[in-house]
Amino acid sequence: MDKVLVIGSGGREHVLGWKLAQSSHVKEVVYAPGNAATAQEIKGKNVVADVTSIDSLVDIVQREEPDMTIVGPEAPLAAGLADALFEKGYDRVIGPTKAAAQLEASKFFSNELNEGLSVPQAEAIPCQNIGEARAYLNLLQRLLSVRSISDKGIVLKADGLAGGKGVLVCDTTKEALDSLPKFTKEYGPKILVAERLFGEEFSVFALSDGEKVIPFGVSFQDHKRRDDGDKGPNTGGMGAYGPASVADAKTVQAVCDKMLKPVVQKMAERGMPYKGVLYAGMMMTEQGPKVLEYNVRFGDPECQAAMMLLQNDLYEIFDQMIRGRLDKAEFSFLPGAACTIVMAAKGYPESPQTGFLVQGIDKAEKNQRVKVFHAGTVERDGQTLAAGGRVLGVSAYSPSGLNDAVREAYEAVSIIKSNTGTGQFHYRTDIAHYALKK
């Protein structure tokens, strides 16, 4: 029986550990650092960890000697955690090398790669500094006016990692021009100036062993804006569900065949084989699916809904991936649908109020089809306190479909309370609204 180490502390890491613990091959799941719930999970244990320090994470791996290490968030991968572990002889790592993690860590890199492979994406110009961006946007503005073409807007994207921020969707070219000084001050000089695309978004997950790419046959949809009706600031994600009706299994396979496989093949040719979770943020435009971004890990909260649906042993799938035998791995998904409602702390994302008591989770989980994954929580004297922007991911699976999954998740949400007066929850009441309206 094997020991696994899950690096990270959010809902994604909780659900991955929960799913791995269901494997008969797994005897212990160590979370570094985990949250209030992970230490209480079956086979679970938390260890103190600083996920911003590669040295401290390597120390933990050397101390714990896991049979498999799963890296949840992107930042340690972009900083070279997988490389550092390989150097020490730990090669059973789920997560790409630093070079391969550029797929998420550099928008210039992924834009150029897509362009070379004719992968459908927004037209974009990489600009090294504010002067280049300004010159390009001025030229574009003049061209639109001379040709009397309507201005559909512009998207500014910071080249590097920005923790889910670093993207500004502007309604006009002028707005983009006006936003440049503040944007570059906040996120650095290198910006991708991109065409604004329109359509419904969806997420595709796949796994790659460096050669073969196997997609999850189900697509998911996240809700990035904080408030109902897709209003308010962008967040890490306020809720998710799957399957998303915008992209059926055939569309997911086409995204994999026409976009993800060529990318993985090209990266292997360039000497930076991609081994790990590959998650494409997609938009269904009038011209068909286009890539918005690649991520080198599972999306959160989509991962919570995805793991509620995955029928197979995740440890066996990861094991086949590490051995380069992904074609032997089995992926099947339960019929019906799963949904995750994020309960965030009021004030999220700018200044979440934390420290309040979280109550009612056991009662909410009395429904066997509900599971509450923790994100920003800590345990104090046997009680659960809110400790982050996104506090909980209240997830439900229903064999009868999305309506019931959403209803049961919201019933569970209504049972969970904060009652100390120091803070409260904020959540969206319209998760899955696109699909439910159809």
Residues making contact with ligand AMP (CB under 6 A) = 122, 155, 157, 167, 169, 194-197, 201, 224, 281, 292-293
**x/- map, 130-169, ligand GLY, by CB under 6 A:** ----------------------------------x-----
Which stretch in 131-139, 192-200, 298-306, 430-438 sits in contact with ligand GLY by CB under 6 A?
Answer: 298-306
Number of Cα atoms under 13 Å in the Cβ half of residue 384: 23
Binding partner at 344 among ligand GLY, ligand AMP, none, C-beta below 5 to 8 Å by kind? none
Q: Which is closer to ligand GLY, CB of 26 or CB of 260? A: 260
In the complex, least distance from residue 226 CB atom to ligand GLY, rounded to whole angstroms: 13
Nearest 5°: phi and psi at 410?
-70, -30
Nearest 5°: phi and psi at 120?
-60, 125
Q: Which is closer to ligand GLY, CB of 13 or CB of 302? A: 302
Task: Tell me the two tokens of residue 40.
Answer: 């209480």
CA 217 from chain centre, in angstroms, equals 17
In the complex, least distance from residue 147 CB atom to ligand GLY, rounded to whole angstroms: 36
Binding to ligand GLY (CB under 6 A): which residues in 107-126?
none
In the complex, least distance from residue 104 CB atom to ligand GLY, rounded to whole angstroms: 9
299 is a site residue for ligand GLY (CB under 6 A): yes
Nearest 5°: phi and psi at 90?
-95, 100
Q: Which is closer to ligand GLY, CB of 300 or CB of 379? A: 300
In the complex, least distance from residue 295 CB atom to ligand GLY, rounded to whole angstroms: 6
Binding partner at 343 among ligand AMP, ligand GLY, none, C-beta below 5 to 8 Å by kind? none
Neighbour count for residue 237 (Cβ, 10 Å) = 25
Q: Which is closer to ligand GLY, CB of 144 or CB of 169? A: 169
In the complex, least distance from residue 279 CB atom to ligand GLY, rounded to whole angstroms: 7
Task: Tell me the two tokens of residue 20.
Answer: 């791995």
- 339-360 as b/e: b if 16+ CB within 10 A: bbbbbbbeebbeebbbebbbbb
Neighbour count for residue 316 (Cβ, 10 Å) = 15
Which member of 210, 237, 239, 423 binds ligand GLY (CB under 6 A)? 237
In the complex, least distance from residue 11 CB atom to ligand AMP, rounded to whole angstroms: 18
Which member of 300, 313, 319, 408 binds ligand GLY (CB under 6 A)? 300
Task: Tell me the two tokens of residue 182.
Answer: 């503040």
Cα 421-427-432 angle, rounded to 5 deg: 165
Contact 121, 111 (CB under 8 A): yes
In the complex, least distance from residue 292 CB atom to ligand AMP, rounded to whole angstroms: 4
Give Cβ neighbours of residue 100 (< 8 Å, ≥ 6 apart): 267, 272, 273, 274, 275, 276, 296
Q: Which residue has the tokens 């391969």?
A: 100
Residues that bind ligand GLY (CB under 6 A): 164, 222, 236-237, 295, 299-300, 302
